[in-house]
Structure formats: structure tokens, C-alpha cells
Amino acid sequence: MSAKKTTKLDFEATLKELESIVNAIEKGGTNLEESLGLFAKGVALTKECQETLKAAEQKVKILTGKDLADFATEDNDEEE
């Protein structure tokens, strides 16, 4: 059996769901309870996206031996 949760959405799907929640809240037409439920779901999805990005950053750091901030510094040095 896999150690990963099979119900966990991939990053792109999670981000897309978060975008639809933001659009629904911005559009309006929902009552306070529905808006709060959407907001709570959005917060949870945001945390999940942040965790996924943090894990990806850690993998890049391990694979390259560099921090992602080093890449930004290298790009700026090359432009000068």
C-alpha cells in the first residue's frame, strides 16, 4: 500500500479548486455560512499548496545543493 494519501489532489488540481473558491467568494451571491465554509476550505487548500511548494523547494535544494534564493542571485548576476 502506498504511503501517500490517494485522496490528496495534485498541486494543479488543488490550485484550480482554490481559484474557483476565490471566484465564487468574489462573485458573491452566497450567504454568510456558505461564504465562511468556502473561506475555510480555501485556507485549507492554501496550506496544502504551501506544503507542496515547500516540499518541492526542498527537493530542488537537495538535488542541486543550492537554495532557490541562490538561483535568483545567479540570474541577477548574469543580467548585469
Question: Half-sphere exposure of 11 toward its Cβ, with a 13 Å CA cutoff?
Answer: 8
In the chain, what are the domain boundaries? Answer: 11-79
Predicted confidence (pLDDT) per residue in 1-41, tens digit: 344 543 455 999 999 999 999 999 999 999 999 999 999 99
20-to-13, 41, 71 alpha-carbon distances in Å: 11, 11, 32
d(CA 13, CA 8): 10
Which CATH class, in words, describes the domain spanning 11-79?
mainly alpha
pTM of the model: 0.68
DSSP run (H or E) holding 4: none
Grid cell in block for residue 79: 543580467
The string of pLDDT tens digits covering residues 43-65 is 999 999 999 999 988 988 888 88
